[in-house]
Structure 1
Amino acid sequence: MTGPSKPGHLPRRLTGVVSDRLQLAAFLRSRRDNLTPQQAGIVPLAGERRVPGLRREELAGLAGVSTDYYSRLEQGRQANISLEVLDALARALRLDDVERAHLHDLAAPRMQHRRAASIRPQPPDPGLLRVIGMLDHVPALLIGRRGIVLARNALFAAVYRHPLRPGTSWTRFLLLDRDVRARIDDWSGAARDALAGLRREVARYPLDRSLQREIDQLRQADPDVRRWWDEHRVAEYSSNHRRIRHPIAGDMEFDVELVVSPQNAEQHLVIYTVEPHSRTARTLPLLAAWGRDPATATAQAAPDRTSAIGQGRRPGPVRARRSYPSIPRGSSG
């Protein structure tokens, strides 16, 4: 939770801050709808239930507040919320640590001058830039707020066959590019994780109008994105496993790790690590050998050649005036 100007001091009542009570209300409703009486450990109140989740009066009772008070929270009409009530709601809704922090940020966003400063253009962290410059053997990407690309190496562009130049949106590319949808195994899971991280940013930077515009455009562009966004799922950006069906190199397996600088927690260095001696590890040097920016070089291959190499068959002639090394055969992983 964000505190006042004096370090270590926490106000007993959260007042005098710019807040978006409608976002808080929507988050509370979404968590209440997803928690059944059985999961909450209570006996359901008598009467017909219109939704499987808790009723307002049931959640109010669990949190130790009146039904009228809680109703005002869900209607966005309660201006001041005590820390005790927030903690009681978090316990009653069985929120995890990330959801609890999100609830506190929605109830008491950063002071306006701090949030305004936080949405200025951000230069790449010098330390993370030096690290990415040393990673020429695995794909690496440096992203900042709103998923903006700050830097990437050539292998990252090769794996996704897209230039992803600094200043472009990695989030928009991941969510809306049709080729990416087809190539990332469990793309829907990756997309939902990205949206959950983006929603976490909204609570941290409610004055970031560029972030709000980006979300509005993403929701309007795709019905899946709109539906997943309205789930109000929140998460921190985290490590994960990713399998990519590269049209030339075949299936590639990565463990995606995140590195954050202690000096700049808003920037994430994303590193696609591989198992030693795996097919993916043997393939990456060949991708790197196809040129300084192989994303454009591989695009010159004809579709039939792309499909043939991906399946381990001998490719036919191509229009590109470039010789390509063969991809190692064997099972992926």
Structure 2
Amino acid sequence: MDNRAEVRQFLSSRRGRITPEQAGIEPYGGRRRVPGLRREEVARLAGVSVDYYTRLERGNLHGVSDSVLDAIAGALELDRAEHDHLYDLARAANTSGRKRAAGAGGSAPSKVRPELQYLLDAITEAPAFIGNNRLDIVAANTLGYALYSDMYRNPSRPANHSRFIFLDPRAHNFYTDWDRAAHTNVAILRREAGRNPHDKGIAELIGELSMRSDVFRTLWAAHNVRRHYAGTKFFQHPVVGLLELNYQVLGLEEDPGHTLTVYPATPGSTSAEALKLLASWAVTENIVETAQAKVGS
């Protein structure tokens, strides 16, 4: 990922969404040709010179201090995910060439330690899976494989959330709000790309999706980022129907680049009963063996 271009496009897109009225300042200068704040107004809000902010927005974050980043984030009204993303971009800009070369291609492994599979298998009442920073599913429990069974239909590729959402027509039925799922997925992938700017696997995935999906390409150009740790999701599973599942995403400190996601249903709910049916179906159809065979092929 081109760090300078990413910085330039991210900052200019955030600047363009805020009006002087929203920022609580008097408009600077005369007639406005573009929406949003001018660079001069952002500089004033952040307490830096116009020349310095212009340098930053042109993609040069070399040597920028945390205090300046915080001031820029405040001026542009960045949320937590956007603030973190700006820090990620600055870190990448200030990493030496030697360190960049050493980190190039450092994708998270596509397999997990046996102990993590044991952990997944111990979770029996909720779908659970371990994902990497390319948004692949690298391991799952029985209900996890069953929930995402459609994602394992292509044996030539690892199960990947982004490819499924943008390249598989079944995803439009699986996600009850496909548009929201698509927006969220792109925002998560962009955050991962910012955190791992020299990851060849992420870059190749972005390139593939940009070539094959007009929707992805449009959403990617918006430069939105998002944190994704907890909430509720709705799925229309082809076997058991509508599922309303809570989710929690947990980082794995000993396994950088991997997260554990668990989807429990509210106890006593229709979704909890549906998960019981899903577990029975998974055993009857040998879902785990089929999915693992495709992953290993």
TM category (shorter chain) comes to: 0.7 to 0.9
User: 1:305-320 alignment to 2 at 5 Å?
Assistant: none
- C-alpha distance in 1, partners of 2:24/2:127? 46
RMSD (Å), alpha carbons: 2.6
Cα contact 1:158–1:294 (8 A) shared by 2: no
Instruction: Count residues with an aligned counterpart.
Output: 280
Residue matched to 2:126: 138
Rg bigger for which structure?
Answer: 1
Structure 1 pair 135–58 and aligned structure 2 pair: CA distance change class (3 A):
same
| Residue 240 (structure 2) pairs with residue 249 (structure 1) | yes
Note if 1:104 corresponds to 2:87: yes
User: Which stretches in structure 1 are left out of the alignment for 5+ residues?
Assistant: 1-17, 298-333
1:1-333 mapped onto 2 (5 Å cutoff):
20-76=3-59, 79-109=62-92, 110=95, 111-112=99-100, 115-116=103-104, 118-119=106-107, 121=109, 123-162=111-150, 164=152, 167-292=158-283, 294=285
Contact 1:253-1:280 at 8 Å conserved across structures? yes
Summarize the Cα distance change of 1:187–1:295 in structure 2 as closer, same or farther, 3 Å threshold.
farther
CA 1:284–1:294: 2 relative to 1, 3 Å: farther
Tell me the amino acid that sits aligned with residue 269 of structure 1: L
Deviating more after overlay: 283-292 vs 202-211: 283-292
User: How many angstroms does 1:106 deviate by?
Assistant: 0.7
Q: C-alpha deviations, 1:57-87, integer Å up to 9, x for none?
A: 1111212223233223222356443333222
Q: Gapped runs of 5+ residues in structure 2?
A: 289-297
> Contact 1:184–1:244 at 8 Å: present in 2 too?
yes
Relative contact order: is structure 1 or structure 2 higher (C-alpha 8 Å, sep ≥ 6)?
A: 2
Q: Which runs of 4+ in 1 moved over 6 A?
A: none
Q: Going by fraction, where is helix more abundant, 1 or 2?
A: 2
Residues 286 and 59 (structure 1), Cα distance of their counterparts in 2 relative to 1, 3 Å cut: same
